Amino acid sequence: MCLCSPDATKKLTAKDNSDCNDNNSAVKPGVKDSCNTAGIDDNCDGNTDSDDSLNCTTYYFDGDSDGVGSGAERCMCNADVAKKYTAKKTGDCNDSDNTIKPGATELCNGVDDDCAGGVDNGASVSCPKVSSATSVCSGAKCGIGNCTTNYFDIDKNFNNGCECKADDHYGKKGNTCGNYIDLGDIADNNTAKSDAGNLMPGEAGQWYRFRAVDGADTSTTNSCDNFHVKVEFTNNPSGTYQFDVFRTTSSSTTGCGSSSTRICQNETVHEWKTDFYSSSAASGPGALTNGTGTYGRVKPSPSTKPSGECKCTTTSNVTKYPVDGKTYTGYSLPGMNRCVNNTAYYYVYVHYAAGKNATCSGYTLKVQNGF
pLDDT digits (tens, 9 = 90+) for 245-261: 999 999 998 878 899 99
The identity of residue 217, as a single letter, is D
Please compute the mean of the pLDDT values over residues 323-346 and round it to a whole number: 68
248/272 Cα distance (integer angstroms): 13
Q: How far apart are CA 231 and CA 263, in angstroms?
A: 12
Please report the DSSP string for 102-167 in residue order.
Answer: TTS---SSSS-TT-SSSSSTTGGGGSPP-TTEEEEEETTEEEEEEEPTTEE-SS--GGG-S-EEPP
State the sign of the Cα–Cα–Cα–Cα dihedral 168, 171, 173, 175: positive
Is omega for the bond preceding 300 within 30 degrees of 0, making it cis? Answer: no
**Rounded Cα gap, residues 195 and 197, in angstroms:** 6
The pLDDT of residue 36 is 76
* pLDDT attached to residue 71: 82
Provide the pLDDT confidence category of residue 309 given band limits of 50, 70 and 90.
confident
Cβ neighbours of residue 46 under 8 Å, at least 6 residues apart? none
Question: Using an 8 Å Cβ cutoff, are 313 and 223 in contact?
Answer: yes
Per-residue pLDDT tens for 18-48? 567 666 766 677 678 888 777 787 778 778 7
Query: Omega before 311 cis (within 30°)?
Result: yes
Q: What is the average per-residue pLDDT within 238-244?
A: 97
Instruction: Decide if pLDDT at 57 tops 90.
Output: yes
Least confident span in 112-116, 120-124, 145-149, 151-155: 120-124
| pLDDT score, position 75 | 95
Name every residue whose Cβ is closer than 8 Å to that of residue 346 and which is 6 or more positions away in sequence. Answer: 209, 210, 211, 212, 229, 231, 245, 246, 247, 272, 367
Give residue 132's pLDDT band: very low, low, confident or very high (50, 70, 90): very high
Average pLDDT over residues 59-74: 94
pLDDT given at position 147: 97
pTM, two decimals, is: 0.72
Dump pLDDT digits (tens) for 254-308. 878 899 999 989 999 999 888 877 655 443 333 344 444 333 333 333 333 456 7
pLDDT above 80: residue 333: no
Q: How far apart are CA 321 and CA 292, in angstroms?
A: 17
CB atoms within 10 A of CB 300: 10
Instruction: Indicate the length of the chain as a whole number.
Output: 371
Which DSSP letter does residue 15 get? S
